[in-house]
A and B are shown apart, each in its own frame.
Chain A
Amino acid sequence: MTRDIDLKDGYQEIVVDDINNLNIKGRFKSDVLIRVKDCKELNIDLEVFDRGKVTLLIWNESNIETKFNENYNVDSNSTLNIAYGDLNSSNFIRNTVVNLNGKYASALVKSASLCKNKKHYSMSVNSNVPYTYGNIENYSVVLDGGNYKMDATGLIKKGAYKSESHQTSRALTFDENQVSTIIPNLIIDENDVMASHATTVGRIDDNHLVYLQSRGLTLEEVMILISTGYLLPIADFIDNEKLRMDLIQKIESMVSKECLM
């Protein structure tokens, strides 16, 4: 099933269960919560038109393996923010491509994942024209049995001068029995640009654990505290108060649930 959506100005919610294709047009300042229920395949096509500002929170509640294919096109003077909340406990593969097609187009893509299973991402933010800005930030807590893969690409095409491409990816683990791979790519075909990337994959520092435990917190309680702190930054860029509080609360309760299991 396919659904065409013209985003309104302001806040709205889209629930995905039997939909496979979302064609979305953003012309205004819109904050959108997309709740993904059980869904095998989801294709999203979104275009942000000139002067539009679209903030998407894609909250994954699927209990079955999902394949995401997402294409975003961002026009001149417009902004796209995407926050992925992937704290659910089913597998997925996600392929995200963001094209910055007009001057002063900007995109910020953030993900928070709590990973006890297979979570494979491939994302690319492409600066196709001059004066564009792309930023990717990924935070993941990989728990026992988790298989996390993040393949993140920042691409600046030839001629897209004065563009910026940044990315930060961090994966935190608590034990050895997990896989986490981060592959950062910067493909830059233009000189007059700004680009950066930072990557960390690491086990929690034992001294941190001991310090927090010495105040009476059990290992699970420490994991909840640290994981929550680690994943909450995705909420930062959501201006809409309701959407932000909602997200914080969801992250907190999902983290508690997963860490106590």
Chain B
Amino acid sequence: MKSLVIEDLHVEIDGREILKGITLTVNQGEIHAIMGPNGNGKSTLLSAIMGHPRYKVTKGSIKFDNKDLLEMSIDERSRQGIFLAMQYPQEIPGVTNSDFLRAAMNARSKRPVSLFKFIKELETNIDILEMKHDLAHRFLNEGFSGGEKKRNEILQMKLLKPYIAMLDETDSGLDVDAIKVVAKAIMDEHEKNNLGLMIVSHYERFYELIKPTFAHVIVDGKIVLSGDYSLVKKIDEEGYDWLYKEYNVQPNTQLEDESISLGIRV
């Protein structure tokens, strides 16, 4: 079993400290919900774990399978089995989805995946995610609807078979039926391959389908409270005010721009 171990993580963006000491362990096979008000560091945490060059780690450590992730580039971390389904997936004109997926699969296997096997896996997962088949042959995410982009992130996850997947608001943009389809696809991976999950979402509706066993709330760059599934329910019903009072914390309300994540303005 592989573990992702984060200790006292501090992260800066453009000289501003966003994460102020996060300590968290996620073992393969576990499901962790990451909650918290807008703009308080959830996406920053996931991006820093993935290794986005814009996010500067100033203190602390991130280890996976006893290896120092901070020593590795973003692509090396991916090949170690860490995956991030992004809040705002990029559109890449000129590169077809299927060429990209095949290249990404080849990048992590010793021998190139045969065309036959690739197509079979691709088609199977496209069916599981109830995606339109032509999406495979279009340019990567270009002109995809919001929901199609999110499904495409999970398609990548299914093909790349990580040990730990971090899903950043994968449910937002999905319609009610799609949420069920996508949640089932994620849970399949969890059950069959012992996938560990870190899931950022604002909605209990999604967590209900995924059933996290651990829940953490990030406020102003720190985990102020961890608990079990009941914490998700309580936040869904009561919001965060009680928590600010009880734990004497102030959320970061520099309501800059919700759409900033991973250095991407959309």
| Chain A residues close to B by CB (< 8 Å) | 205-208, 210-219, 221, 224-226, 228-230, 232
Contacts and interface: CB of A to CB of B under 8 A. Distances in A.
A216 B160 contact: yes
A229 B94 contact: yes
B73 A221 contact: no
Contacts of B53: 210
A16 to B, nearest CB: 31
Contact of B92 (A212, A219, A224, A228): A212
Nearest to B80: A216
A228 B103 CA distance: 12
B65 to A, nearest CB: 16
Counting from the closest, the 10 A-B pairs by CB-CB distance are A229-B94, A216-B78, A211-B90, A215-B104, A216-B107, A229-B95, A213-B75, A216-B79, A213-B74, A216-B108
B263 A226 contact: no
A54 B75 CA distance: 46
Given A208-B90, A210-B53, A217 B103 contact: yes
B99 interface: yes
Given A217-B103, A225-B100, A229-B99, A211 B92 contact: yes
Contacts of B108: 216
A208 B88 CA distance: 12
Contacts of A219: 75
Contacts of B96: 229
B103 A221 contact: yes
Interface residues of B, number: 30
> Interface of chain B, helix or strand or loop or mixed?
mixed
Most buried by B among A214, A229, A232: A214
Contacts of A206: 263
B89 interface: yes
Given A207-B263, A212-B95, A229-B94, 14 more contacts: A211-B89, A212-B100, A213-B75, A214-B78, A215-B107, A216-B104, A216-B107, A216-B108, A219-B75, A221-B103, A225-B100, A225-B103, A229-B95, A229-B139
Interface in B93-146: 93-96, 99-100, 103-104, 107-108, 139
Contacts of A212: 92, 95, 100
Contacts of B103: 217, 221, 224-225
B185 interface: no
Contacts, number: 72
A212 B149 CA distance: 15
Interface of B: 50-53, 73-75, 78-79, 84, 86, 89-90, 92-96, 99-100, 103-104, 107-108, 139, 156, 160, 262-264
Contact of B73 (A208, A211, A213, A215): A213
28 contacts: A205-B90, A206-B263, A207-B262, A208-B92, A210-B262, A212-B95, A212-B100, A213-B75, A214-B50, A214-B51, A215-B104, A215-B107, A215-B156, A215-B160, A216-B107, A216-B108, A217-B103, A219-B75, A221-B103, A224-B103, A225-B99, A225-B103, A226-B95, A228-B99, A229-B93, A229-B95, A229-B96, A230-B94
A224 B104 CA distance: 12
Contacts of B75: 213-219
A207 B264 contact: yes
A215 B99 CA distance: 13
Contacts of A225: 95, 99-100, 103
A230 B92 CA distance: 11
Nearest to A233: B94
A217 B74 CA distance: 9
Nearest to B88: A207
Contacts of B139: 229
Nearest to A216: B78
B84 A217 contact: no
Contacts of B160: 215-216
B107 A226 contact: no
Nearest to B90: A211
Contacts of A224: 103
Contacts of A216: 75, 78-79, 104, 107-108, 160
Contact of B78 (A208, A215, A232): A215
A205 B142 CA distance: 15
Nearest to B107: A216
Nearest to B264: A207
A1 B1 CA distance: 71
A201 to B, nearest CB: 16
B94 A213 contact: no
Nearest to A218: B75
